Amino acid sequence: MNFGYTPEQEALRREVNAFIAEHVTPEVLHDKEAQDDQMHGSGVADPFGPNMRELYGKLQARGWLGIAYPKEYGGQGGDRISQYIVEEAFMRVGLNISLSGSGAPAIMAAGTEEQKRYYIPRLISREITFALGFTEPHAGADLANIRCRATRDGDHFVINGQKIYTTSGHLSSHIYLMARTDPSLPKREGLSIFIFPMDTPGITVRPLWSIQNNPRAPLGTTYGEARTNETFFDNVRVHESTLLGGENKGWKVAADGLNLDRVGAFRYVMSIRRDEDMVNWVKTTELEGYADNPAIRDKVAELWIEAQVCRLMTMRSMSIVQRGRDFTYEGSAEKVWAPEHGVRTTEAITQMLGPYGQLLRGSPHAVEEGVFAHNVLGAFQSGVNHGGVTIMRDQVARRGLGLPAMRRPKAAAN
């Protein structure tokens, strides 16, 4: 495959960068940072803020939202590389305009025609946004052990239980929820996915303030959200039409959806941005002893090569999906390599900066507004969020190499 851009794609990249320079104003970035201050149900009419909403309108007018989604569902029917080019440029200024994590890839893959025609256009326009309801206090990376129950009652389901780390639950209009619908089946076979509004009666969202809350992490911090949530479901009644992919089919829907979610600029830039920030700082700092230090130059070169591997893996995944080939383990492989690369980059810049690497935003001597120090606080999440790397290695082994599932040894007989 040719991983370079065509002249048309290069022209698009220049156009997007020029647009960003003109339209991504300090007011837009302020709206982005202000999202964490907004509470679900507080009367805030538009969680994106007026400047962010105006920007989305301009993007929609240019056809830059949902480029690779079919026209019949509100997209542009374009190619994934063009979509990647647009999304990558915005990610580099701290704005995620992609549909990664939105639920759209899973709805396209497993939804009914009615669900696709309803949700996809509204997800592209941001009229609808999803919070992810997977993790529970006792079931983090091991989702097969979730206990949130959805009990059938005629043509409805009644949901009871708790989710944790529903990060955008206070801002989102809908939730993408995994619940246990048949406890008599093996753990992975009795799960279902539901998609329904967050204002459905019986839902309570409570804030969990993160370590990035005080002081607030600067824009561009990886995993810099000041707030996440715990969400409770008390006799929440939803129609069976909210099922995504069918009853007791949730494990496959979730696995395929998460795999597809990892394709594109969002995950790629999130994992390598720390590397690029480090390189740019070393190249431009006026402090002596950095740019010419052989050990630092060697480490920077090593990590830069790793970042290029991230890019090649991303391009491979996009190529496979665009050509309609089976996409099985590739997203999981990216989820192993890229986050671990990000952690190594965080460790490296911390060693380079020494004590200055611990100074958070607001300190008069903080480097780059404290972004490197705040990245340290969020680094541990990289290998856990949206699938732990140990689980992803198992996915690569089973789905990519055809190896048997990992089994615990039986206890020895007395």
Structural domains of the chain sorted by starting position, each given as residue range(s) with its CATH number in brackets: 7-98 (1.10.540.10), 131-248 (2.40.110.10), 262-400 (1.20.140.10)
Question: Worst-scoring range by mean pLDDT, 117-131, 152-166, 352-366, 384-398?
Answer: 384-398
Q: What is the pLDDT of residues 7-54, one digit of tens each?
A: 999 999 999 999 999 999 999 988 887 765 554 333 344 567 889 889
| Residue 379 pLDDT grade (very low, low, confident, very high; cuts 50, 70, 90) | confident
Find out whether 329 and 262 touch, Cβ atoms under 8 Å: no
Distances (CA, A) of 333 to 80, 196, 259, 336, 398: 20, 31, 10, 5, 12
Sort 387 into a burial class: Cβ within 10 Å, 0-12 / 13-18 / 19+.
buried
The helix/strand/coil state of 158 is: strand
154 CB neighbour count, 10 Å cutoff: 7
194-214 residue pLDDT tens:
999 999 999 999 999 999 989
Instruction: Give the pLDDT confidence score for residue 177 in this predicted structure.
Output: 96
pLDDT at residue number 99 = 86
How many Cβ atoms are within 10 Å of 242's Cβ, its own excluded? 20
- CA dihedral (21, 22, 25, 28) positive or negative: negative
pLDDT of residue 39: 42
Cα torsion 351, 356, 358, 362: sign: negative
- Which has the higher per-residue pLDDT, 328 or 338? 338
Q: Return the pLDDT at 290.
A: 87
**Beta strand spans in 170-244 (E):** 174-180, 191-197, 203-209, 227-239, 243-244
Q: Between 406 and 257, whose confidence is greater?
A: 257
Structure tokens, 215: 């002081």
Which of 180, 316, 178, 309 has its CA nearest to residue 255?
Answer: 178
Q: Which of 140, 154, 20 is nearest to 91 (CA)?
A: 20
Say what the pLDDT of residue 262 is.
Answer: 73
| Residue 366's pLDDT band (cuts 50, 70, 90) | very high
- Residues counted in the chain: 414
Per-residue pLDDT tens over the stretch 214-230: 999 998 888 888 889 99
DSSP annotation of 103: S
Specify the pTM.
0.86
How far apart, in whole angstroms, are the C-alpha atoms of residue 32 and residue 44? 14
pLDDT above 80: residue 387: no
- One DSSP character per residue, 12-53 reads HHHHHHHHHHHH--HHHHHHHHHGGG--TTSS-S-TT-HHHH
